[in-house]
Amino acid sequence: MSDVKGLYIDEHVVRIVAALVSVITIVLLFTGWEWLAVLLTVDFALRAFTRLPSPLAWAAKAVAKQAHWPPKPIFAPPKKFAAAVGSVFSILIFLFLHFQLITLYYITAFILLACAVLESVFKICLGCYMYNWIVIPFVNLSQKNRQHS
């Protein structure tokens, strides 16, 4: 898919990645393996802050290709913002688990799991809503300020 240099990504890949995040988070909740939180952090960070393919995105692209699903382009910036939020949640999960703050660990992991399930099953991206409520107003305000200067 021609992604107009980062402006669009494949929705099928996004939803498969969310399903993989759900599975990893469930395993993390049952095992408490800190390295899974590190894996999620790295994966989210790669998707949010670079153009490099993350391990989960790479796997999701392979699944979508194998399923012969035609690319379904969606606007990438809200998804990248959601991945940045996911990286923050993953860092918090690691820290809470590492320092034995178990209640906070479970709360944070369940929130991440809920967000991933909403995206993968229902196409509801809570991070994208946050992008529209937080980022877009600041961008619009910044553009207005530039026009008046």
For 59-110, the pLDDT digits (tens) are 999 999 999 999 999 999 999 999 999 999 999 999 999 999 999 999 999 9
Residue 119 has pLDDT above 90, yes or no: yes
Q: Is the pTM of this model over 0.75?
A: yes
**pLDDT value for 92:** 99
Residue 49 has pLDDT above 90, yes or no: yes
Asked if residues 47 and 54 have their Cβ atoms less than 8 Å apart, the reply is yes
Question: Which two three-digit tokens encode residue 123?
Answer: 């196409």
What is the distance between the alpha carbons of residues 108 and 127, in angstroms, rounded to a whole number? Answer: 15
CA distances from 137 to 16, 35, 130 (A): 30, 37, 11
